[in-house]
Amino acid sequence: MKKIVVIALHLGYWLLYLLLLLLILLCLQIGTNLKQQPLFENHRFAIFFTTFAVLPAILGFYNFYFWVFDYFLLRRKIFLLFLVGLLVSFASGFISASVITALHWFKIGPGVFSESLSISLQITFIISIIALLNGIVALVIKGFISWYNDIKLKEQLMQRNFETELALVKAQLSPHFLFNTLNNIDVLITKNTEQASQYLNQLSDILRFMLYETKGECIALSEEWAYLEKYVALQKIRTSNLGFVTLEKLGNFSNVQIAPMTLIPFVENAFKHAPHLRHGNVIRIMLEVQEKTLVFLCENKIAQNTQKELPSPLQNSPSHNRKGGRGVGSGGLGNELIQKRLLLLYPDSHLLEITSNDDVYQVKLELQWQ
């Protein structure tokens, strides 16, 4: 929700509250002797009434709005919500009663704590009720704002997912990749029919995965990894270097879900920036599942003639629990789109670090879950 709308909600509520107080003052005025000085012309009474009715309302409202809602209602700690809500209301009432007593020293209004204990407790209780009622209204308003923001976030997520899906399909189904793979398989048909058939089946699985398996919100991590293995196998057709790519997985993948095609763009980018390096270990891909964290590492060596082509770094944004780095590469998903998707899918539960030096380009992604 826009900030100006939130401010308007607050102003609207306080205007209604002051209007209610004005009506109460008018009712008190009607009940007084007309020969007496009108209550609303007595500034001492106005100060006392404001302290009695407005101060606890403000204290209760904004303590509930900024603190009680975020720490207890939002986290569904209902028992603590009631307990802390009552304590906050009583504290607001006590503070307001103390201010009223201090004003009494200046002959403004009665002194709450100068009365008997029973009367002091009754007045403090009434003031605390005012704070509590305004606090409940604050919870309703903050809840409405939070609910509205959640709806907008879900709409934005759906739109971003749609845009990302189109970009992913466009990046992954590149004519260049399909052309090279089909040509390599065609050459293998005359040399090794069985192997050519195996690669053709892998290509078919990749296409099926991209067209059907990526439609849902989550897929099994094992399926994402299986796609990576098939993608790497097809890319390795063009080289005789068996150690060109190393794949390593650690931990238990069972029952782990992930948003589809979260890791794939980084692997595609690694091949894109290491097309001419065919000796030794050029690309290293590692995936580890810890207790509540997934760690993905993808690094590749960089040919000197492609170092200049890497996009410039994006601005860091530590408030989103991530670090920007060099771009993910032209032609695939850009850094901005990938990071926006991570922010929507894993808000406050991911860390993305992208670094590049003279000859190594590295991506490290950590995802946390409850």
Tokens of 314: 């994006």
pLDDT of residue 305: 57
Q: Are 112 and 97 in contact (CB under 8 A)?
A: yes
CATH class of the domain defined by 173-368: alpha beta
3-state secondary structure at position 359: coil
Strands (E), the chain: 219-220, 245-250, 257-258, 283-289, 293-301, 350-356, 360-368
- 143: CB partners within 8 A, 6+ apart: 69, 73
Task: List the beta bridge partners of residue 360.
Answer: 301
Residue 282 CA from chain centroid, whole number: 35
> Residue 286's closest CA among 311, 249, 255?
249
Q: Is the pLDDT of residue 310 over 60?
A: no
pLDDT in tens, 340-358: 778 878 888 899 998 888 7
Q: Are 45 and 32 in contact (CB under 8 A)?
A: no
Tokens of 302: 């960089």
Task: List the beta bridge partners of residue 248.
Answer: 286
- 241: CB partners within 8 A, 6+ apart: 278, 279, 280, 282
pLDDT of residue 137: 94
pLDDT of residue 62: 93
Q: Is the pLDDT of residue 83 over 90?
A: yes
pLDDT in tens, 261-293: 888 888 888 887 775 656 778 899 999 998 889
Domains of the chain: which residue ranges?
3-153, 173-368
